[in-house]
Amino acid sequence: MTAVLRIGALTLLALTLSACMRFSADLWISEDGTVDGEYVVALQEGAGAALGGSDREASLQILEESGLLDPLTDIREHGFAADGMAGTEVTFRNQPVEALAPTADRFGVTREGDEYVVSGRASAISEEDADSLEGASLSVSITFPGPVSESNGTVDGTTVTWDLVGGPEELTARASALRTTSPVPAVLTTLLVLGAAGAAAVAARRAEVVRRQGLRRATRGAAPAPATRPVGASPARPAGPRRP
């Protein structure tokens, strides 16, 4: 990001007229060094008319004045409306991370080896202008490929979020540029395989025990086989009394 929202005359007028304003920058940095992003600027519904246009037109003009769109190519602009606010939503895809490089007065993102580093001033908002931001919502969120090792923002997984109103003067973060795979799924897979193998072994042993028990019962219940005599032999005669 080569610029953060600059509080210019048009923006201050919008804040005064609408009593509230929304600005959000959501960035997703990939392992391959490209960035997807979404910028939203919105005013209280109807405030754009006092600025000489629709809410969408006035919000887009504010975003253009911020300089955020200058280094980007192939952007897509859509109307935005939510929670009584209306404005513009600009999205972009596959931009080089170099477009986010920090400047002397604005924070940005650079790659250092296998890490992405956020550094620089939070914004160009002066102390005098800060009083006009009461009721405004200005935030930046950056999602990295890998885990965050340090940050002065709010960390949720691999995402860091900063509130630009009342937040730190400088934004800092350091995160892995490499996507990491949690060892938990691999451990679970191993346990499942071992469990399945153990269950199969137990089932095989039980089947063998049942088979042997069946053989023993069959052997015990069988009738003894009749005696046999050689072929051609005469049946034995009972012995009678001997003659004198």
> Based on the domain organization, do 206 and 90 belong to the same domain?
no
What does the pLDDT read at residue 1? 38
Domain range for 197 is 181-215
> Based on the domain organization, do 18 and 57 belong to the same domain?
yes
What does the pLDDT read at residue 165? 81
What does the pLDDT read at residue 236? 53
Residues in the chain: 244
Question: Measured between alpha carbons, how far is residue 12 from residues 82, 85, 163 in Å?
Answer: 21, 17, 18
pTM of the model: 0.68
Q: Is 233 part of a structural domain of the chain?
A: no
pLDDT in tens, 107-141: 899 999 999 999 998 865 555 555 656 667 889 99
CA distance 119 to 2: 12
Question: Measured between alpha carbons, how far is residue 97 from residues 26, 121, 189 in Å?
Answer: 14, 18, 36
> Based on the domain organization, do 129 and 203 belong to the same domain?
no
> Based on the domain organization, do 83 and 199 belong to the same domain?
no
What does the pLDDT read at residue 7? 46
What does the pLDDT read at residue 24? 94
What does the pLDDT read at residue 161? 98
What does the pLDDT read at residue 234? 54
> Based on the domain organization, do 94 and 169 belong to the same domain?
yes
Q: Identify which of 87, 23, 95, 35 has the alpha carbon closest to the alpha carbon of residue 57.
A: 87
> Based on the domain organization, do 57 and 165 belong to the same domain?
yes
CA distance 108 to 118: 6
Q: Is 43 part of a structural domain of the chain?
A: yes
What does the pLDDT read at residue 67? 82
> Based on the domain organization, do 48 and 133 belong to the same domain?
yes
What does the pLDDT read at residue 49? 86
Count of domains observed in the chain? 2
Count CA atoms within 13 Å of residue 15 on its CB side.
Answer: 19
What does the pLDDT read at residue 244? 47
> Based on the domain organization, do 172 and 202 belong to the same domain?
no
Residues contacting 3, CB < 8 A, separation 6+: 66, 67, 68, 70, 103, 106
Unique residue bearing structure tokens 């060892």: 183
> Based on the domain organization, do 137 and 32 belong to the same domain?
yes
Query: Mapping DSSP to helix (H, G, I), strand (E, B) and coil, where does residue 29 land?
Result: strand
Query: Would you write out the chain's pLDDT as a tens digit for each of its 244 residues?
Result: 334 444 454 555 555 545 578 999 999 999 999 999 999 999 989 988 887 889 999 999 988 988 889 889 889 999 999 999 999 999 999 999 999 898 887 789 999 999 999 999 886 555 555 565 666 788 999 999 999 999 999 999 999 999 988 788 899 999 999 998 654 554 554 555 556 666 666 666 776 666 666 666 666 655 555 555 555 555 555 555 555 4
